[in-house]
Amino acid sequence: MVILEANTIIKQFKSHDSLINAVDRASIKVEEGEFVAIIGSSGSGKSTFLHILGGLDKPNYGSVNIRGNCITDMKPDELARFRGMYTGFVFQKHNLIPQLTVLENIMIPTVMCERPAFQYEEHLKKLTKILGLEERLNYLPGEISGGQQQRCAIARAMINRPQVLFCDEPTGNLDRKNADEVLDLLLKTREAIGQTIIMVTHDMKIAEKADRVFVMDNGVLSLS
C-alpha cells in the first residue's frame, strides 16, 4: 500500500534578485513500511523537499498525500493535528528545548496532540530502553552528549507512534561509532513499531541499508 505520494513538487525561493528552484518537479511514491533514503550534495534541495513531504512547508506547485489525505490542501489547524497523529520529524539540528528535561522534550508531541486511549507510558518505557536514555530522563539537553541529544530527538519524533518518520541527517553531527549506533537503534525501533522512514543522509553506509535510494541534484529527484 502506498502511504505517501508526492506529485510534481516545485518550490522556489526568492534570493536577492534571483529565483532559486530548490525543488524542481520532484515526485515520489513510498510504500508502507519502506525505508527510503535521499542523498545529494549540499544545497541540492533535500531538506526543502523533506519539509514539504512532512507538511512543514508548502510547495509552490504540486501535492502531497499521506494515507490518502492531501496535506497540501489542509488548513493550518487540521495539518498540525494530522502531523501530530501520523508523522514524526527528526531535524538536521536536534531542536531540543534547552530548559526542558530529556523526558519533557520527548513528551512534547503528546501534549500538542493527545492520542485517545494510547498508552504513552508503556511506549515511552520501550523507546527510552531501546534508545538507551532511561538513566538520562531528568537531565537537561546541555548535560548529555551529542549522541544522546540525537537519540532524545528520535524518541520525541517517535513518541506518538507516527506511521511516517521523516529524518533529516539524523546522524550528521555524530562520529562514525555514534552514527552507527543511532542508526541501529532507529532501525530497531522501526522494527518494533513497523513504520515508514524517509531519511535524508550524506552517509553512504546508512543509505546502503535503505530499501530504495533517491538522489537529489539541483532540485531534481531521481532513483539512484
Ligand X SMILES: Nc1ncnc2c1ncn2[C@@H]1O[C@H](COP(=O)(O)OP(=O)(O)OP(=O)(O)O)[C@@H](O)[C@H]1O
The footprint of Mg ion (CB under 5 A) covers: 47
Cβ of 107: how many Cβ atoms within 10 Å? 17
Binding status of residue 44 toward ligand X by CB under 6 A: yes
Residue nearest to Mg ion (CB): 47
- Residue entry with cell 534571483: 18
Compute φ and ψ for 71, nearest 5 degrees: -75, -20
Which window, 41-49, 79-87, 158-166, 204-212, contacts ligand X (CB under 6 A)?
Answer: 41-49
If you count DSSP H runs as helices and E runs as strands, how many of each does the chain have, helices first? Answer: 7, 10
Mode of pairing for the β-strands spanning 164-168 and 87-90: parallel
Binding mask 45-74 for ligand X (x = CB under 6 A): xxxx--------------------------
Least Å from the CB of residue 47 to Mg ion: 3
Which residue in 13, 118, 184, 192 binds ligand X (CB under 6 A)?
13
Q: How is residue 119 written as a grid cell?
A: 498508552
Binding residue count for ligand X, defined by CB under 6 A: 13
Residue 42 contacts ligand X per CB under 6 A: yes
> Binders of ligand X among 86-145, rule CB under 6 A?
92
Taking the complex as a whole, how short is the minimal distance between the CB of residue 152 and ligand X, in angstroms?
21
Among 15, 116, 177, 223, binds ligand X (CB under 6 A): 15
Element holding 166 (H helix, E strand): strand 164-168
Least distance in angstroms from the C-beta of 98 to ligand X:
23
Question: Toward ligand X, which CB reaches closer, 46 or 151?
Answer: 46
Nearer to ligand X, 26 or 159 (CB): 26
Please list the alpha-helical segments (H only) found in the chain.
Answer: 46-53, 76-86, 102-112, 120-130, 146-158, 176-193, 204-207
Over the range 176-189, which residues count as b (16 or more CB within 10 Å of their CB) and which as e?
eebbebbbebbeeb
Q: Report the interface residues with ligand X, using CB under 6 A.
A: 13, 15, 20, 22, 40, 42-48, 92
